[in-house]
Amino acid sequence: MSRMLGHYARLTSRLSDVAAHFAMLAIVLMAGHILLEIILRAFWSTSTFVMDEFVGYEVAAMTFLGLGAALDDKVLLRVNILLLPLKGWARAMAEVLNAVVALAVFGFVTFYLIRQLIRSYERGTTSISILEVPLWIPQGLVVIGLLVFCIQLTGLIAQALHAPEEIE
């Protein structure tokens, strides 16, 4: 059982890494779109007319797709004043409790965002820009990022149960 938990924790880490790579792609796309907008305005006095909308989508994608990797790399902001004195199983159980509470909160948010995504898809809701982007696309990226984050929380639980002495 312990070995399976270790494998599961590694699998969730890989999944978070894949999502983080897509977050990095969103950053590159954002930079490319801004550069395109600058060139269009400087040389041809025109615009794509959707830069602010697309950059907003790319910021959302970058943020939510990177959440799982940020949790896995332990770079999310945490208040460790209560956790630092704990060692071994006490620390692992505190981490499990924190992860379960976070999973409940983010699971609730994700559930409602999935409902909104389905509603947007069924109704054919689009943005109000000239491109009329189907809103389920950027909403889907946010939901995928939150799902990866929730899965990574379960990986954190598995890691705490598998090797409590390795919890930092």
Residue 133 CA to residue 123 CA, distance in Å, equals: 13
Confidence of residue 148 (pLDDT cuts 50, 70, 90): very high
Tell me the C-alpha distance between 102 and 149, whole Å.
10
Q: Is 53 helix (H, G, I), strand (E, B) or coil?
A: helix
Residue 35 has a pLDDT of 95
CB 140 within 8 A of CB 93: no
pLDDT at 64: 97
What sign results for the dihedral spanned by CA atoms 3, 20, 88, 92?
Answer: negative
Residue 119's pLDDT is 98
- Asked if the model's pLDDT at residue 167 lies above 70, the reply is no
pLDDT of residue 165: 64
Task: Check residues 149 and 80 and name the one with the higher pLDDT.
Answer: 149
- Read off the pLDDT of residues 55-80 as tens digits, 9 standing for 90 and up: 999 999 999 999 999 999 888 877 77
Q: Could you report the per-residue pLDDT of 7-55, keeping only the tens digit for each?
A: 898 999 999 999 999 999 999 999 999 999 999 999 999 988 899 999 9
> For position 106, what pLDDT does the model report?
97
For the whole prediction, is pTM greater than 0.95? no
Task: Judge whether residue 138 has pLDDT over 70.
Answer: yes
**Alpha carbon distance 130, 132 (integer Å):** 6
pLDDT at 1: 63
DSSP 73-94: TT-S----TTTTT--HHHHHHH
Please answer whether residues 12 and 154 qualify as being in contact, where contact means their C-beta atoms are separated by less than 8 angstroms. yes
DSSP 118-140: HHHHHHT-B-SSTT--BTHHHHH
Predicted confidence (pLDDT) per residue in 81-136, tens digit: 777 787 888 888 888 999 999 999 999 999 999 999 999 999 999 999 899 999 99
- Rounded to whole angstroms, the Cα distance separating 136 from 17 reads 24
Q: What is the pLDDT of residue 86?
A: 79
